Amino acid sequence: MLEIRQLNKNYGSHRALTDLDLVVPEAEIFGLLGPNGAGKTTLIRIINQIIEQDSGEVILDGQQLSGEAIRKIGYLPEERGLYKKMGVWDQLIYFSRIKGLNAAEAKLRVNYWLEKFEISSWKNKKIEDLSKGMAQKIQFIATVIHSPRVLILDEPFSGFDPVNAAILKNEILELKQGGTTILLSTHRMESVELLCDQVAMIHKSKKILDGSIREIKSRFRPMEIRASLQHLNQELPPTWKIEASEDGKVDLLIPLNGQSPNQLLHELMAFGEVISFQERFPSMEEIFIQQVNASAHA
Amino acid sequence: MHKVFLVIQREYLARVKKKSFLVATLLTPLIFPAIMAIFVWIAVEEKENQSLRVIEVVDETGLFFMESSNQYAFSTSVKNLEEAKALVNKGERYGALYIPKMELSAPEGIQFYGLENPSTALVGYLEVSLKRKIEDQKLYTKGIDPKVLKEIRTEVTVQALTLGDAGEEKVTDATVNYALGFLSGILIYLFIFIYGNQIMQGVIEEKSTRIVEILVSSLRPFQLMMGKIVGIGAVGLTQFLIWVLLVGTLSSLVMGVLGMQMPQQQAMEMANPELMAATPDTGELGAILQVIDGIDFVSLVAAFVFYFLGGYLLYGALFAAVGAAVDSPSDAQQFMLPITIPLLIGYMGLFVFVLQDPSSSTSFWLSIIPLTSPIAMMGRISYGVPFWELALSMGLLVLGFFGTTWLAAKIYRIGILMHGTKPSYKTIWKWVKSTN
């Protein structure tokens, strides 16, 4: 479990993080959301011990983060890069040794991952001779080669084609099943809803929201109902939005306006035959935009 | 600590394994002598193929008889300047030398006409010959017989020797010392620039690819920076040592060949004393070999390696700092000035002051101040430098290295994590001052 307590970081007069608290549960995927410049990168750099916090603590498995703990962390930066002129094998061995593996162990693991991705034949290829997708696979291996307990992925899907993105997604889920705690920083909400168990939203150095996806969505109660009607027998009120209409079937989006869903259902039945009736949950994207805007006006 | 070693190892192997390294290392010691050989060959060819240039002399004083050399012949077939000019225009003469009527006490108005600019060598040759003639003429009017004059003229060469502490004498030669100072100074200058640039490129690569963020979580930024500098320095040292071995082997081969020929020549000279006078060249060559023999190459190479590494480390840290401050090599230009200027001062100082007068006070300061000393001191060292000066210079260089490294580490640490905005000198100064 990764815990962040009362973390503060200023760059001169600019506040990058303000009293940040986070709990990233064991073996879950935790989404870190927020617009550019919110403080995500600063947080990630502090967890990686690239920079030091002004105050506050980062606690991994009950212990203050120390130099030794870095072996337990794997980090995939947003902008990818490897040594272009260096061969795949040399490069992976180098990164695993830097992360603290001994020579024999490094060889074993590099072989394991190359075989897993069925790319053993690339061993002697230089990165500059690989395609972008191929290079990204190598980069992913370099990130997880030392079997980190905590994996920090900054925009992991950017630049991936759909095939490789699917492979990556499966790898991430597999690592989670194997007990790895994953912190995923992104502003791509589709991947958040697909992958994350919990999320936290950071805006202007502060956490403005956190919890499990289900919990957050239910916290932002649906204010709208999505319903379908058949055999319409009268005019619909103008506030009801018709989303689609086909063969006498109408899909509607209806604001609740303080009514309970039951009241609305009653009202609806008068207009025709109700064939579907469902709360519309807001997407994470809507919540995200709404929250950012709300805090901008606050 | 072993992680720094990993960095050094990577930087070293990544470069040494490259084909370009192998090619440069093996070819450079051959290319320089080859270029020299080509120049000498061209010069010799040119001299041999050069047609004799005929210069028409119009002498209104009637006092000058110009002696022809193997390059220039002088004729006096016409009596006035206009005719002489016409001959030049027709291409029958290379040029015309006009000596008007004048007082020998104040010779003025001597002119040379030609279709092209005369070379400085020709003008110099004419000036020296005319001066000599005028002086002869003056001596003659003072009553000195030209025959006596000829007997008086003497050729002199001074053999320079240095005295060691124990009173031993060593033959030295300014030309050889000049060449050694010149070569080692330039080598250090080039080395700092070439390998310094590699440090900078390497830092920029790691920064722009964010590799540095992965590495810096495992190593301290200072370790990463020093690992890179040391690794690349080791590449340079390897290259230099291979050159020393190659050049050493090649030159001992050449010396061996020359040495074999020498006794034969000496025997010939002894058998035929006139030949000795006719071929002074072998004597000169012998003298140079004697001078080269007298140079303490071990301490020269040791000093070279010290200044080579010292200068490299001092500037290497600065190159790393520049690389860390920018996002791409093209942005680096604006921060190169603090590196280029002192290096250029050292380089120019080597030619303008140090090699001209190695013991002048300017030369002294250039060889003491750490930013210029790696280049300037190498210009002095073959002439002999007092021990305390050498010790002071070396000590200051080490201090200078600590200084630039401290400064560079502060810039590097923050710079490698900054992206997007181009920093100014002011922001960089802020990085230096910031404590965390």
The pLDDT-based confidence of B197 (bands split at 50, 70, 90) is very high
Q: Please answer yes or no on whether A100 and B210 come within 8 Å at the CB atom.
A: no
B209·A81 Cβ contact <8 A: yes
Q: Which of A82-91, A233-242, B371-380 has the lowest mean pLDDT?
A: A233-242
Please, which pLDDT band fits residue B234 given cuts at 50, 70 and 90? very high
pLDDT at A175 over 90: yes
Is B24 a residue whose pLDDT tops 70? Answer: yes
Task: Answer for the pair B370, B346: CB distance below 8 angstroms, yes or no.
Answer: no
A97: pLDDT strictly greater than 70: yes
Structure tokens at A104: 């024999």
pTM given for the model: 0.74
- pLDDT at position A35 is 83
Contact B214 A49 (CB under 8 A): no
Minimal CA separation from A50 to chain B, in Å: 5
Secondary-structure breakdown of chain A: helix, strand, coil percentages, each rounded to the nearest 5: 35, 30, 35
Residues of B in contact with A80 (CB under 8 A): 209-210
Which residues in chain B are contacts of A48 at CB distance < 8 A? 213, 217
Asked if B216 is an interface residue toward chain A (Cβ–Cβ < 8 A), one would say yes
- Does A39 score more than 50 pLDDT? yes
What rounded mean pLDDT belongs to chain A? 87
- The confidence band for B279, taking pLDDT boundaries of 50, 70 and 90, is very low
| pLDDT for residue B20 is more than 70 | yes
Query: By the CB < 8 Å criterion, does A37 face chain B?
Result: no
pLDDT band at B261 (very low <50, low <70, confident <90, very high): low
Q: Check CB contact under 8 Å for A50 and B210.
A: no
Calculate the dihedral angle through the C-alpha atoms of A44, A45, A46, A50, rounding to the nearest 10 degrees. 150
Report which residue type is found at A246: E
Mean pLDDT along residues B333-361:
88
CA distance B213 to B339: 27
CB-nearest partner of B218 from A79, A82, A98: A98
The Cα A83–Cα B139 span in angstroms is 80
User: pLDDT value at position B90?
Assistant: 84
Residues of B in contact with A75 (CB under 8 A): 213-214, 217
B231 to chain A: which residues are within 8 Å by CB? none
- Give the one of A50, A81, A85 whose C-beta lies nearest to B217's C-beta: A50
Name the more confident of A260 and B290.
A260
Residues 98 through 137 of chain A touching chain B, CB cutoff 8 Å: 98-100
Decide if B170 contacts B161 (C-beta within 8 A): yes
**Any CB–CB contact under 8 A between B429 and chain A?**
no
Residue B281 has pLDDT above 60, yes or no: no
Q: How many Cα atoms are found within 13 Å in the side-chain-facing hemisphere of B329? A: 8
Go through chain A and tell me how many residues it has.
Answer: 298
Given pLDDT bands bounded at 50, 70 and 90, which one contains residue B277? very low
Nearest CA in chain A to B10: A94
Of A41-50, B190-199, B275-284, B338-347, which gets the smallest average pLDDT? B275-284
Given a cut of 80, is residue B392 above it in pLDDT?
yes
**One-letter amino acid identity for A195?**
L
Out of B3, B217, B219, the one facing A75 most closely (by C-beta) is B217
Q: What is the mean pLDDT of the segment spanning A179-190?
A: 87
- How many CB atoms sit inside 10 A of residue B72's CB? 19
The count of C-alpha atoms lying within 13 angstroms of the C-alpha of A35, restricted to the half-sphere facing its C-beta, is 12
Residue B285 has pLDDT above 70, yes or no: no
Which pLDDT band, with edges at 50, 70 and 90, does B291 fall under? low
Residue pair B11/B202 in contact (Cβ under 8 Å)? The answer is yes
Q: Output DSSP code: residue B384.
A: -
Rounded to an integer, the average pLDDT of B4-26 is: 90
Residues in chain A closer than 8 A to B217 (CB atoms): 48-50, 70, 73, 75
Q: Which two tokens stand for residue A87?
A: 């061969």
pLDDT at B378: 86
pLDDT of A247 over the 70 cut: yes
The confidence score (pLDDT) of residue B275 equals: 45
Least confident window among A263-272, B17-26, B281-290, B291-300 = B281-290
Give the B window 23-52 contacts with A, CB below 8 Å. Answer: none
B435 contact A CB<8A: no
Q: For residues A51 and A16, what is the distance between their CA atoms, to the nearest angstrom?
A: 12
pLDDT band at A115 (very low <50, low <70, confident <90, very high): very high
Q: Please give the interface size between A and B, counted as residue pairs whose CB atoms are below 8 Å apart.
A: 60
Q: Which of B317, B312, B308 is nearest to B222 (CA)?
A: B317
Say how far apart CA B54 and CA A276 lie, in whole Å. Answer: 115
Q: Do residues A73 and A149 touch, judged by C-beta distance below 8 A?
A: yes
Q: Which of A106-120, A127-141, B123-137, B146-160 has the highest mean pLDDT?
A: A106-120
pLDDT at B172: 64
Residue B361 in contact with partner chain A when CB distance is under 8 A = no
Range B239-265 average pLDDT: 71
What was the pLDDT predicted at B286? 64
* B6/A77 CB distance under 8 A: no
Residue A110 pLDDT level (bands cut at 50, 70, 90)? very high
Give the dihedral sign, CA A152/A158/A164/A166. Answer: positive
Query: Residue B278 pLDDT more than 50?
Result: no
Residue, of B293 and B380, whose pLDDT is higher: B380
Mean pLDDT of B41-62: 78
State residue B276's pLDDT score: 44
Q: What percent of chain A has pLDDT over 90?
A: 28
Output the pLDDT for position B384.
78
Q: Under an 8 A CB cutoff, do B209 and A82 touch?
A: yes
User: Residue B290 — pLDDT band, cuts 50, 70, 90?
Assistant: low
